[in-house]
Amino acid sequence: MIFAPSLLGANLLNLGEEVRRVESWGAEWIHFDQMDGHFVPNISFGPAFVAAVRKHTKLFLDVHLMLSRPMDYIDAFADAGADGITVHAEAEEPEEVLRKIHDRGLKAGICVNPGTPASALKPLLPLADLALIMTVQPGFGGQKMRPECLEKAAEICAMAKEAGKSVLIEADGGINAENAGQVLAAGVDVLVMGTGLFRAADPAGIMAAIRGSRA
Ligand code: DX5
Ligand code: ZN
C-alpha cells in the first residue's frame, strides 16, 4: 500500500512545513494536481512548484496532469524533478505522451475520469506503469467519493493481465479514514488523499489505522 498525500489539500503558505509533515506521517509519495483551466475548470501550481518541493524531499513525486495538451509540458515537469507523470485518457494524444514520459526515464500513468469506461484504457495499458481511477470529477479537492468508480480496478487488472502487464492501481478523490478500506478492498494500491489527511486532526494516526486494517 502506498500513500500519496495531495498537496492540493495542504497549507500552501507553509509548503516546506507541509512537506516535512508528509514525511513525518510515513507517506511514500507526494501527489501534485496540475490543472490548466481548460481540461478542468480550475488552475493550479506549475513546474516551478514541483521543483521547489523537489529541493526538500527524496519522496516519489507523483505528478497528475489535468491538462488538455500534456505533451507540451512533459519536459518541464521532468526537468522539475517529477518521478512519475500521469496523464488523462481523455486528453490529447495519450499514447504519444506515455511514450514521451518513458523517454524521459519516468514512470508513466494513465487516468480515467468517472464518466470514462475502463475499456478506454485497453490500448494504453501496455504503455503504462500505473492506472489512476478518478473517484470524483477532477478539478477540486474536498468532494465526496463516488464508490461506483472503484469497480474499474478489477476491470483494469484483468485487462493488464491479459496484456501480460502489471500496473499499479491508484485512486484519487474523496478518500478518507472512513472509506479507505473499501478503496483498498477494490484492489487499489495507491491512495491519493488531500483533505482526508491535511485537514485531519491526526493524519499519522489515520495512515497507521488504514495500514493496520490491511495487515
Ligand atoms: C481532484 C484532484 C485530487 C484531489 C484530492 O481534481 O485530482 O487529487 O486533490 O483531494 P481530496 O482527497 O480532497 O478529494
Ligand atoms: Zn490528483
The span from the CA of 171 to the CA of 168, in Å, is 10
Q: Which parts of 37-189 are beta strand (E)?
A: 60-66, 84-88, 107-112, 130-134, 168-172
Residue 202 annotated as catalytic: no
Closest atom of ligand 1 relative to the 42 alpha carbon: 6
Q: At what angle do helices 15-25 and 47-54 cross, to 10 degrees?
A: 60
Closest atom of ligand 1 relative to the 145 alpha carbon: 14
Q: Which residue among 3, 7, 8 is best mutated to probe the pocket of ligand 1, counting the most ligand atoms within 8 A of its Cβ?
A: 8
Q: What is the reported pLDDT for 102?
A: 98
Q: What percent of the chain has pLDDT over 90?
A: 99
CA of 179 relative to ligand 1 center, distance in Å = 15
- Domains contained in the chain, number: 1
Give the residue from 141, 161, 146, 209 showing the smallest Cα distance to 3: 209
The span from the CA of 130 to the CA of 118, in Å, is 13
Q: Which parts of the chain are beta strand (E)?
A: 2-5, 29-35, 60-66, 84-88, 107-112, 130-134, 168-172, 190-193
CA of 212 relative to ligand 2 center, distance in Å = 25
CA of 196 relative to ligand 1 center, distance in Å = 9
The span from the CA of 70 to the CA of 169, in Å, is 21
* Amino acid symbol at 1: M
Q: What is the CATH number of the domain that holds 52?
A: 3.20.20.70
> What is the average pLDDT across 37-63?
97
5 lines ligand 1 (CB under 6 A): no
Q: What is the reported pLDDT for 214?
A: 82
CB 163 within 8 A of CB 124: no
For residue 153, report the phi and psi dihedrals to the nearest 5 degrees: -60, -45
Q: Which of 36, 62, 129, 172 is catalytic?
A: 172
33 lines ligand 1 (CB under 6 A): yes
pLDDT digits (tens, 9 = 90+) for 126-163: 999 999 999 999 999 999 999 999 999 999 999 999 99
172 lines ligand 1 (CB under 6 A): yes
6 alpha carbon, closest ligand: 1
133 lines ligand 1 (CB under 6 A): no
Sequence-distant (6+) residues with CB within 8 A of 158 are none
- Please tell me whether the overall predicted TM-score, pTM, comes out greater than 0.95 for this model: yes
113 lines ligand 1 (CB under 6 A): no
pLDDT digits (tens, 9 = 90+) for 8-29: 999 999 999 999 999 999 999 9
Residue 79 annotated as catalytic: no
Give the domain range for residue 168.
2-213
